[in-house]
Amino acid sequence: MDTVSVLRCEDYNLPDVLRIVRQSFDNIGGVGKFIKPGDKVLLKLNLIMKKNPANAATTHPVFAEALSLAVMEAGAAVIIADSPGGPYNEAMLRSVYTGCGIADVAQRLGIALNYDTAYSRVDFPDGRQVKSFPIINPVLNADVVISVPKLKTHMMTFYSGAVKNMFGCIPGLYKAEYHFSMPERERFCAMLVDLCQCVRPTLSFMDAIVGMEGQGPTGGTPRKFGAVLASASPYALDLVAARMVGITPQEAPTIAESQMRSLCTELSLAGDPLDGLLVSDLIKPPIGTPDFFDRRFIPKPVSAWLRRSLAPKPDFNYGICVGCGDCVRSCPTNALHLKYKRPVLASEKCISCFCCQELCPAKAIQARRNRLIGRM
Ligand code: SF4
Ligand code: SF4
């Protein structure tokens, strides 16, 4: 049986967050069950892009600090790593660590930030979608990997949590290849479950103090959820976190896939009652398509084409676009180009992955629903 610790946490006050992180460890069996003195413990934060922590797109530095302190108290060494969106090089990492407030934490605690951009190919013959993955070396060199996601909505996977956070173990632009080769979100999410099974993080600690709703994982709105979740099972944690904010397994394919594979059959809750933390009015990502595409009389290829054609597409607010071209560089299908410093979409090439929106520094991209479906 998987235990998921859920504890109320009102804000990013370091002494409070540290107390709650320690309590979370106790709730799931004690820190000594997972971490031994001398271990090298990798915190795989969610540092999707250079964003001020107030935007709630990235793991909050106070949460990273509290978790680092708790791990160091167990006698282990901490290293922080992620492969953000875009190119994976030292300059990019430095800019992301600094912009997300993580560099200050590392300096204060004397912990290591990863700048090793090498990776190794790891075979995973049991994978349902993918049989091997390129994995960044710090993940492979750690004794213990802790996934440290943020609770967010996501324009492609609907929900972003502990399993989705593992996508940052894939180096840089390799991520675009996965989007390109698996444009359907069910297949993409099945790949994410393969990846999580391949890396097998020892623990997951979720920063759900302030998360994101709407057009996540970077273009949405910060939303206070007031909780810290922890578990040895990323699948159980995601199931509980999604339930807390009113997202069903049918909406979140990573959760549906993990249930289909029986990766989360029984769980127990420890800590504060979930009832007091339930969110009933989450603004969900506008990515659904009408259920008549699922009807049996529509052949699968037609249904797939309809879904692709009618899926939301990116829409650009040229009034706030700064013409940086990050959206063009992040697009896995070359569906975008810059004309007079403005991004232009070739709609027929777009697979609605919203990598462009994820990496837009100006929040100038929103989802636009097909007119046949109706307004968002
Ligand atoms: S235009 Fe945006 S949503 Fe469409 S394929 Fe490119 S990155 Fe994905
Ligand atoms: S990433 Fe955003 S700001 Fe940069 S060109 Fe694209 S839409 Fe404009």
Residues 217 and 341 in one domain: no
Residues in the chain: 376
Tell me if 359 CB under 6 Å of ligand 1: no
Same domain for 191 and 50: yes
pLDDT at 64 over 90: yes
In a domain, 314, yes or no: yes
Q: Are residues 295 and 234 in the same domain?
A: no
Instruction: With respect to residue 188, please indicate whether it lies within any of the assigned structural domains.
Output: yes
In tens, the pLDDT along 310-362 reads 788 999 999 999 999 999 999 999 999 999 999 999 999 999 999 999 999 99
Ligand 1, pocket-test mutation among 331, 345, 347, 359, most atoms within 8 A of CB: 331
In a domain, 286, yes or no: no
Q: Residue 349: inside a domain, yes or no?
A: yes
CATH number where 192 lies: 3.40.50.11440
Question: Both 249 and 344 in a single domain?
Answer: no
The letter for the amino acid at 62 is: V
Mean pLDDT, to the nearest integer, of 256-270? 96
- Give the ligand at the shortest distance from the Cα of 313: 1
Strand partners, 136: 119
Q: Tens of pLDDT along 6-48?
A: 999 999 999 999 999 999 999 999 999 999 999 999 999 999 9
Instruction: Judge if 327 and 255 occupy the same domain.
Output: no
Q: Are residues 150 and 190 in the same domain?
A: yes
Q: Is residue 293 pLDDT above 90, yes or no?
A: no
- pTM strictly above 0.85: yes
d(CA 44, CA 56): 17
* AA letter at 167: F
The verdict on 249 and 223 lying in the same domain is yes
Substitution candidate for ligand 2 out of 49, 215, 318, 321 with most atoms within 8 A of CB: 321
Q: Is residue 140 part of a domain?
A: yes
Question: What is the best residue among 310, 336, 368 to mutate for testing ligand 1's pocket, by most ligand atoms within 8 Å of CB?
Answer: 336
Query: Do residues 56 and 167 share a domain?
Result: yes
Alpha-carbon gap, residue 132 to 124, rounded angstroms: 5
Residues 6+ apart with CB under 8 A from 353: 156, 179, 183, 188, 332
- Tell whether the model's pLDDT for residue 292 goes beyond 50: no
Ligand 2: centre distance to CA 318 (Å):
9
The predicted structure's pLDDT at residue 290: 47
What is the C-alpha radius of gyration for the chain, rounded to an integer number of angstroms?
20
Say whether pLDDT at 375 is over 70: no
Same domain, 175 and 303: no
Give the pLDDT confidence score for residue 291 in this predicted structure.
Answer: 47
Query: Which residue's alpha carbon is at the smallest distance from atom 7 of ligand 1?
Result: 331
Q: How far is the CA of 207 from the centre of ligand 1 (A)?
A: 28
The response to whether residue 155 sits with its C-beta less than 6 Å from ligand 1 reads: no
- For ligand 2, residues with CB inside 6 Å are 316, 321-327, 343, 360, 362, 364-365
| Residue 294 clears pLDDT 90, i.e. is over it | no
How many structural domains is the chain composed of?
Answer: 2
Number of other residues whose CB lies within 10 A of the CB of residue 17 = 25
What mean pLDDT, rounded, does the chain reach?
A: 94
* Interval between CA 317 and ligand 2 midpoint (Å): 9
CATH number of the domain that residue 313 is part of: 3.30.70.20
Which pLDDT belongs to residue 121? 97
Domain boundary among 233, 249, 277: 277
Does residue 83 lie within any of the structural domains?
A: yes
Least-confidence region, from 127-131, 142-146, 158-162, 287-291 = 287-291
Q: Are 47 and 96 in contact (CB under 8 A)?
A: yes
Q: Are residues 250 and 356 located together in one domain of the fold? A: no
Assign 309 a pLDDT band (cuts: 50, 70, 90): confident
Per-residue pLDDT at 289: 52
Helices within the chain (DSSP H only): 14-27, 61-73, 90-99, 102-109, 137-141, 162-165, 174-181, 185-199, 234-245, 253-260, 300-310, 326-330, 355-359
* Domain co-membership, 194 together with 338: no
Residues 239, 296 share a domain: no
Q: Give mean pLDDT, residues 216-239.
A: 97
CB 314 less than 6 A from any atom of ligand 1: yes
Domain that holds residue 354: 291-368
Query: To the nearest whole percent, how much of the chain has pLDDT over 70?
Result: 94
CA–CA separation, 195 vs 164, rounded Å?
9
Distance 176 CA to ligand 1 centre (A): 10
Quick check: helix, strand or coil at residue 113?
A: strand
- Answer yes or no: is pLDDT of 288 > 90: no
Classify strands 342-345 and 40-45 as parallel, antiparallel or unpaired. Answer: unpaired
